[in-house]
Structure 1
Amino acid sequence: MDTLTGHAGALPHIADTPDRSEQQRYFDALYAHSDDPWRLRERWYERRKRALTAAMLPRERYRNALEPGCANGELSAVLAQRCDALLAADLHESAVRAARARLAPWPHARVEQRTLPREWPMGDAPFDLIVVSEFAYYLGPEDLQQLAGRIDETLADDGCLVACDWRHAFAGRQASAEAVHASFASRCGVLGVARHVEADVLIEVWTRDGRSVAQSESLA
């Protein structure tokens, strides 16, 4: 396990908590050494997880996607190739800078510095794809409830919600992966269509109508 991170994958991004200044200093120190402090590019675990997430998307292409907590944009780069428009957001300015450089080949993708869920991009909605990866379990109960509410308000009628989360315990976690996903399932007005469970990671996909890929293509 990497001593700089909370787990063998990517450390989730900064939550808007009372001790945010302490977290900010910690992340400042991490980004001072590298624009990829969690080794998102080189770790097989991370590259495989991104491939799994992309493979679980029920549609080939999306109109307007949102990725809150994008870090340096490695997952964003995968999503950009499946979307007509992508908004990625992160709290840390170094993450935003790195993500903008990563997404430069895709002019339809943009990156903004935002504190989420408070600064939710309501004006860019509706989103027919929202991907929440390694972010929500750093939120306290009220923020997690607000996140679910914002997703419900801005997810399109034909929208898809994806959540991907590390399952092991680590310092700073405020909710388990299972609790985060249960909150989304109960509060976001969606129905489950896919679920991938391993010892390390939980990935779930929900849509508004709950139709399978075969049903969407009139095959079943």
Structure 2
Amino acid sequence: MTTPQSYFEHMYARSSDPWSFATRWYDARKHALTVASLTARRYKSAFEPGCSTGMLTARLAERCDHVFAVDAVPAAIASAATHLAAFPHVTLGTGRMPHDWPDDTFDLIVLSELGYYFDDADLNTLIKRAVESLEPGGDLVAVHWRRPVDEHARPGDEVHERLAATPGLARQARHEEADFLLEVYTRTPPEALSVAQREGLA
């Protein structure tokens, strides 16, 4: 079963930063690695579903002309708005994934700590919508916690296995640790070129 929204609403009712994103070195480091893994110097338009308090969003904003970030819980968006006030090119909204996926296209989509909350049907829809809205040559970044959590519908590794088996995505990078898995996929066709190939080094 997809994790019910009441779980997230309860978390934000107890704290404006229920996962301590603003204070934990683990998350600050993971967010830095996520942004460092991006294959392009800059992106035109990024989409970040499940943005929570906006800590990763702020890092993405430094690399993107526009970022659209959404969360299902209004309290999370209110917290994100305070963190992102210095970034007028970030648009925030409320929406429950995957059913409220936007109709726009993007050259960067970031699935951070999101996929393991969905049952099979919703995860399939999430991945399908992500691929359909990703521009050719655009990047999809996925990063997920790997350890067991009762509220997760599946392990984080399984989310990445689903992405790896999805047609139209070519894996460009993989960073694996005991705690989390980070991967970057490029939408094909055209052929996915490495960063060095794009700069004529290979």
Contact 1:65/1:83 (8 A) holds in 2: yes
**Corresponding letter in the other structure for 2:201:** L
Contact persistence 2:37–2:173 (CA under 8 A): yes
Deviation at 1:53, TM superposition (A): 0.5
CA distance in 1, matches of 2:96, 2:152: 18
Structure 1 residues not aligned, in runs of 5+: 1-15
State yes or no: 1:217 paired with 2:199. Answer: yes
Q: Which residue of 2 aligns with 1:69?
A: 50
TM-score, scaled relative to structure 2: 0.94
Pairing of 1:44-55 with structure 2 (within 5 A): 44-55=25-36
Is 1:112 the counterpart of 2:89? The answer is no
Q: Which residue matches 1:60?
A: 41
1:134 CA displacement? 0.4
Paired positions, count: 199
1:168 aligns with 2:147: yes
1:198 alignment partner in structure 2: 177
Structure 1 residue 216, shift from structure 2 partner = 1.2
For the pair 1:85 / 2:85, whether they are aligned, the reply is no
Q: SS in structure 1 opposite 2:58?
A: helix
Residues 127-138 of structure 1 aligned to structure 2 (within 5 Å) = 127-138=106-117
Report whether the alignment pairs 1:157 with 2:139. no
Q: Which ranges of structure 2 fall in alignment gaps of 5 or more residues?
A: none
- Name the TM-score, length of structure 1 as normaliser: 0.86
- Structure 1 partner of 2:122: 143
Cross-structure match for 1:96: 77
Q: What's the CA shift for 1:188?
A: 5.3
Deviation at 1:101, TM superposition (A): 1.8
Distance (whole Å) between structure 1 residues aligned to residue 131 and residue 8 of structure 2: 30
Q: Which amino acid aligns with 2:32?
A: A
Give the match's secondary structure for 2:101. Answer: coil
Pair 1:81–1:188, CA change in 2 (3 A): farther
Cα distance in 2, alignment partners of residues 88 and 40 from structure 1? 16
Q: Indicate the SS of the match to 1:187.
A: coil
CA distance in 2 between partners of 1:64 and 1:215 (Å): 23
Distance, in Å, in 2 between the alignment partners of 1:77 and 1:182 is: 28
Residue identity opposite 2:195 in structure 1: V
Q: Which 10-residue stretch deviates more, 179-188 or 136-145?
A: 179-188
Identity of aligned residues (%): 45
Which is further off, 73-82 or 183-192?
A: 183-192
Cα RMSD of the aligned pairs, angstroms, is 1.4
